[in-house]
Amino acid sequence: MVFFRGVSALSKLRSRLVQQPSLTSTVRWLQIETSSDLDLHSQLKELIPERQERLKKLKSEHGKVQLGNITVDMVLGGMRGMTGLLWETSLLDPDEGIRFRGLSIPECQKVLPAAKPDGEPLPEGLLWLLLTGKVPTKGQVDALSKELRSRAAVPDHVYKAIDALPVSAHPMTQLTTGVMALQVQSEFQKAYEKGISKSKYWEPTYEDSLSLIAQLPVVAAYVYRRIYKNGRVIPKDDSLDYGANFSNMLGFDSPEMHELMRLYITIHSDHEGGNVSAHTGHLVASALSDPYLSFAAALNGLAGPLHGLANQEVLLWIKSVVDECGENITTEQLKDYVWKTLNSGKVVPGFGHGVLRKTDPRYMCQREFALKHLPKDPLFLLVSKLYEVVPPILTELGKVKNPWPNVDAHSGVLLNYYGLTEARYFTVLFGVSRSIGICSQLIWDRALGLPLERPKSVTTEWLENHCKKSA
């Protein structure tokens, strides 16, 4: 990790970039924040007018430029591959993976401030980057971390709303209930009811978003302790950063687990706008629903087994392999088990991706974490063996465009190693992480005045008639 401490740190970065030409080409645009201003809100007030003018110019000068042709396959395939959303905070490249404001995950690990030398990036630093497009100083990250702690108090009625549910309710149901209960404090809703200029929409949205991001770990930890630890709640610790505090409230005070939580939140925070949770949050917010309503909707999308719930399915499947074949499974046994899964009409969870056509960089950074901290863990060794076995089988199957592992293929094994073994809860961690990306984009949605989303739909009959005419 690199801590930016004035000009000397900037010089070191430039020196390193000279030695790594491939890195130079990808981060040459990088803006290193040198302002002494520690307030994120003030930074945004400076940035927004320029971005508004930039978007206005783009629309007026190039609004009629075509971005591609829509095919019947796209319409029938869930709009896959259609370019139809503006999402400023991140971009997913099929070959390179996710980039946060232009930075790859390895680059973020190098340049974002960390809690300790050579540690994982602090999620607060990524929040600053997503909102401003600039790499923050350690001082700015510390100030933002302090602000989030000051916003983290959760009203009693939120806990009462969650307690009204059966303890057996899925953790994501309980989390979403908590978010909906938080909604009564929405500053955006209050401002809209009083009457507020459209140009100012982003400011109460900012207030709601930062409060939601701050309160979410507290609510999520309460859900965990309620379900799995007999309701024995651990209060937040104002001496800890965002990721470490969340880990601590869950009941895990190991420094390595704190590091894992920082990494987990950072890499799960955003994945451009087309995935279900991000798109849902954006869509609902386009109706001027406040951030709480919008994010609750996003969480409900994340809870689906084809999206965020997949991370619990991976660990359960891996444990089923161990239960049937033992920890010392041979390569041939593992191949047989994979084929058994596929032949039963099921998928191998954690492999494949709707956009990526290579191994997910989020998988790779988790693998590197495991190699550093738990290289001999039996489940990690099994995940490594799956990395060798599954892609060739899926390639042989001939139906999979991307046979490589995605982010979900690894996260559960890491969490399990440090004692967070309750797979049903994993998607809640994903939800806490995703608040950073969705809320960051929502602030920019408001700042740029993006309109109500309303794509055109057609019937099967319309498509059939159109295709006949085209023929």
Catalytic positions are: 307, 353, 408
Tokens of residue 401, six digits? 């465009």
Query: CB under 8 Å to 401, separation ≥6 — which residues?
Result: 352, 357
If residue 97 lies in a helix (H) or strand (E), which one and from where to where?
strand 97-100
Q: How many CB atoms lie within 10 A of CB 54?
A: 11
φ/ψ of 468, rounded to 5, equals -65, -40
Q: How many CB atoms lie within 10 A of CB 334?
A: 19
- Identify which of 354, 368, 470, 452 has the alpha carbon closest to the alpha carbon of residue 410: 368
- Identify which of 319, 64, 328, 56 has the alpha carbon closest to the alpha carbon of residue 199: 56
- Identify which of 219, 220, 222 has the alpha carbon closest to the alpha carbon of residue 234: 222
Angle between helices 156-163 and 202-228 (to 10 degrees): 50
Q: How many CB atoms lie within 10 A of CB 139?
A: 15
| 184: DSSP letter | G
Q: How far is CA 55 from CA 49, 62, 76, 448, in A?
A: 10, 10, 31, 7
Place of tokens 């191994």: 359
Place of tokens 């660990």: 315
Interatomic CA distance for residues 71 and 68, integer angstroms: 10
